[in-house]
Chains A and B, each alone.
Chain A
Amino acid sequence: EPEVTQTPSHQVTQMGQEVILRCVPISNHLYFYWYRQILGQKVEFLVSFYNNEISEKSEIFDDQFSVERPDGSNFTLKIRSTKLEDSAMYFCASGGSDYPPSQYFGPGTRLTVL
């Protein structure tokens, strides 16, 4: 069964450093998302991406964040200058075989900012 994959599974970085989280969505999906989950808390929406552009973003998704779909398969989330409070699990999701799309999540990347 097709699935969303994410790399790395765990990333440790120093405050102020740039990180790129990578995702490979399910191949025929058209909608892509990033969510985050601070430890022990609920899952929060960051951004959705459709037709090569951002379709919606939350107030969390400020100028430090960016997303890109550099080729036909990868979907990336970049954090330019990480802060301590960016430490969280970041989930990528994709959807597209139904409408509105049922979102299928990847296993997550745990980001630890020191």
Chain B
Amino acid sequence: AQKVTQAQTEISVVEKEDVTLDCVYETRDTTYYLFWYKQPPSGELVFLIRRNSFDEQNEISGRYSWNFQKSTSSFNFTITASQVVDSAVYFCALSGRQGAQKLVFGQGTRLTINP
């Protein structure tokens, strides 16, 4: 069975600090896909990134970066120079390779950026 664990329930930092959100996953699939979604206070789910299991290159997009380490089954998300607008719940998710493939979500990490 697939499982995603986000051990950090809540994180609170001061604006401009860097913050890393942890994600650890379990799967028996040899090919799988990892995702991060942002859920702002308005409630919608915003797609941030998708990563394939065979591509362990880290990715940077502006202030966001993702560190994928297959050896530790982790897919961590770092926000550099955080801003108040980054305040949201962040979900890590996993899907397999076959068919329409459901997303299995972690419990989410509530990130609060204080001014």
Binding site for B on A (CB under 8 A): 31, 33, 35, 41-45, 48-50, 55-56, 58, 89, 91, 93, 95, 98, 100-108, 110
Contact = CB atoms under 8 A, between A and B. Distances in A.
16 contacts: A33-B100, A41-B107, A42-B106, A43-B103, A45-B102, A49-B100, A50-B100, A55-B99, A100-B97, A100-B99, A101-B101, A102-B50, A103-B35, A107-B43, A108-B43, A108-B45
A48 B45 CA distance: 17
Interface residues of B, number: 26
B82 interface: no
Given A31-B100, A55-B100, A105 B105 contact: no
Contacts, number: 68
B64 interface: no
User: By DSSP majority rule, is chain B's interface helix, strand, loop, or mixed?
Assistant: loop
B95 A43 contact: no
Nearest to B49: A102
B100 A43 contact: no
B108 A42 contact: yes
Given A91-B45, A103-B35, 16 more contacts: A33-B102, A33-B103, A42-B106, A42-B108, A43-B93, A48-B101, A55-B100, A56-B99, A100-B95, A103-B47, A105-B45, A107-B42, A107-B43, A107-B44, A108-B43, A108-B44
